[in-house]
Amino acid sequence: MNQEVIAIGSCTLDCMLQVKDILRFELLDKDVIKKYTAIEYSHKLNVDGVLFVPGGSAANIASNCAMLGLNSAYIGILGKDFSASICLDDMKKRGVNLSNVIQTDDDCTAFSVILKTEWGKDRSILAYKGANNLLKPENVKEDFFQGIKAFAWTSLTTESGCKAIEKALTLTLENNGKVFAAPSMSIIKNSPKWAKILISNSDVVSLNKEEAQEFTEETDTVPMIHKFLDMGIKLISITDGPNGSIISDGQTIVNSSIYEGPVEDTTGAGDAFLSGLLISQLNGFTLEKSSKMATAMSYLESKEIGVREGLPNSLSELEVFVNNNSIKQIVSKIV
């Protein structure tokens, strides 16, 4: 069976630590207030809760799309450890094709420590890329991309990893599929050359406002949108947390609010947003409906602790939510 969606990028075991006994301070740096989470030197802190959750942007997107009924696959390298077992079992349970996953003794599975504090949005993350960084172009098999509809890539920062993404991107376009990009700050800051190459060859790009500001060197949203569109991007989405999102196809801009309700954990919300855009694009939905679907995916994912939780198990279930709940949208022509 041909794969409709293939994702390449991070697959990580997240260790979420609930911490109260920690410091927070702010510094003024060139008229910009920067916030810091701090541990007093040589102190032992008490942790109030520990939760292990399979994550990683590409693994999240592959899992989300599989849950929505798409034939989805993940390509990547993991270690041979307990982290890999948890990550692979979860993706398999959600219906992801793992036939192109490689396990190695050369490094351990990627691992992240997420510090959850009492300060709301704060999610300081310690990330180890591990085996994710071992992916090479030869691990991307040409025949696996036959009949592909969508390829989603998230950040790898090594030269070989970026070349593997580039190969998959090229194979997708050769097979008339669409390329969806979810670049993180790591590739934008650490591999700006590759960030530009991969983003400029993608059809749809989704990132948050801080990432868009860093990549475009613009502070306002509309100039950012123009820079992406000038690169040949067909659809750009910029999310801004509680302030909602803006998406544009070069003709129209849709500014959407978020769905009202309790938010427990925003880890993976950006991946859920891209997943909503992806399935919307494959179904030819309007820009307004695409924004609603993506916003709904992001909201439903944030309602529960951990990634991939709370998400719908079918496209129809997602559409029911969108039809029964409303958000504010402002639609305008791009100028």
Tokens linked to 92: 């398999």
In the predicted structure, residue 177 carries a pLDDT above the cut 90: yes
Domain residue ranges of the chain, discontinuous segments joined by +: 5-10+57-111+132-333
pLDDT one-digit tens code per residue, 57-72 = 999 999 999 999 999 9
Question: Does residue 112 register a pLDDT over 90?
Answer: yes
Q: How many CA atoms lie within 13 A of 73 on its CB side?
A: 23
Compute φ and ψ for 89, nearest 5 degrees: -60, -40
Residue type at position 76 = G
pTM tops 0.85: yes
The answer, yes or no, to whether residue 335 has pLDDT greater than 80, is no
Which of residues 54 and 22 earns the better pLDDT score? 54
Evaluate whether 188 touches 216 at the Cβ level (below 8 Å): no
> How do strand 5-8 and strand 150-154 relate by DSSP bridges?
parallel
pLDDT of residue 120: 59
Contact 45, 117 (CB under 8 A): no
One-character DSSP codes across 168-219: HHHHHHHTT-EEEEE--HHHHHH-HHHHHHHHHT-SEEEEEHHHHHHHH--S
For residue 307, pLDDT over 80 is answered with no
242-261: per-residue pLDDT in tens?
899 999 999 999 999 999 88
Q: Check whether 158 has a pLDDT greater than 90.
A: yes
Q: CATH for 5-10+57-111+132-333?
A: 3.40.1190.20
Task: Answer whether 2's CB lies under 8 Å from 98's CB.
Answer: no
